[in-house]
Structure 1
Amino acid sequence: MNSRVEARGASLDVVKLAVAVSLLVGGILAFYYFSGISTLLRVIGLLVIGAGAAAIAFQTEKGRLLWQFASDSRMEVRKVVWPSRQETLQTTLVVVVMVLIVGIVLWLFDMILMSILRFLTGQGG
């Protein structure tokens, strides 16, 4: 009996997801179909339809798992120790200087190799 209840719940989840997707697709189609109406009203309507589709989708098992993942991720972001402004500026400066140095070195290698290639092929003089 338990497997029958799980199968019914899974099929109901599929129906809910299908309704959410069709609602979202219908909202997008309506957005373009009613192009004569103000863009602001169409965007507001699309946002309301999108929120309704999300509300339906979050009622499924996959939606609840997605919501749990988002809340767990938010909790982990709060634990991160962000660098100070000075550390960020110093790191950025080091990256910019290294990019310039590597660019200059690669430019010099290119010039040397091009000179060697011109000498070997007899071009340029």
Structure 2
Amino acid sequence: MATQDKQASSWLDAAIMWVAVAIVVASIVGYYYFTWYSDLVRVLGMIVGVGVAVLVAVQSQFGRIAWGYVQGSRTEVRRVVWPTRKETVQTTAMVVLVVLILAVFIWALDILLGWSVSLLTGRL
């Protein structure tokens, strides 16, 4: 009996996901079909279509698992200790400085190797 329930729920979940995909496809087709409306109306229609598709998809088992993952991710982002503005500026300045130093080093190495190859081939 449990196997039948599992098979029925998996079939229903698949059907729900296909309905959600069909809604997204319909909103995309509608965007390109209704060209006589302004872009704003068409984009709003697509946003509404995707929103409805997400609401439909969340009704499936996979959608509930994905939504739980999103909620867990939001919780983890809230726990992150973000750097202060001063730390961000200092880190960015250090990265720019190291990039400039490496750029000058690679440029000097290129000049040196170019000169040495020219000297070895007799083009100097």
Matches within 5 A, 1:7-26: 7-26=7-26
CA distance in 2, matches of 1:52, 1:73: 22
Question: Quick one: distance in 2 between partners of 1:83 and 1:23?
Answer: 41
Deviation at 1:112, TM superposition (A): 0.7
1:2 corresponds to: 2
Could you tell me how far 1:44 is from its partner in structure 2? Answer: 1.7
- Identify the residue that residue 83 of structure 1 maps to in structure 2: 83
**Same amino acid, percent of matched pairs:** 40
- Partner of residue 30, structure 2: 30
Matched pairs, number? 124
Please list every run of 5 or more consecutive structure 2 residues that lacks an aligned counterpart in the other structure: none
Q: How does 1:1-125 map to 2 (within 5 A)?
A: 1-124=1-124
Q: Deviation string for 1:48-105 (max 9, x for gaps)?
A: 1111111110101111011100110111111111111111111111111100101111
Cα distance in 1 for partners of 2:46, 2:111 equals 57
Let me know the Cα RMSD of the aligned residues: 0.9
Question: C-alpha deviations, 1:11-40, integer Å up to 9, x for none?
Answer: 000001111101110111011011011222
Amino acid at match of 2:77: V
| Letter matched to residue 100 of structure 2 | L
TM-score, L = length of structure 2 = 0.96
Measure the CA separation in 1 of the matches of 2:40 and 2:113. Answer: 59
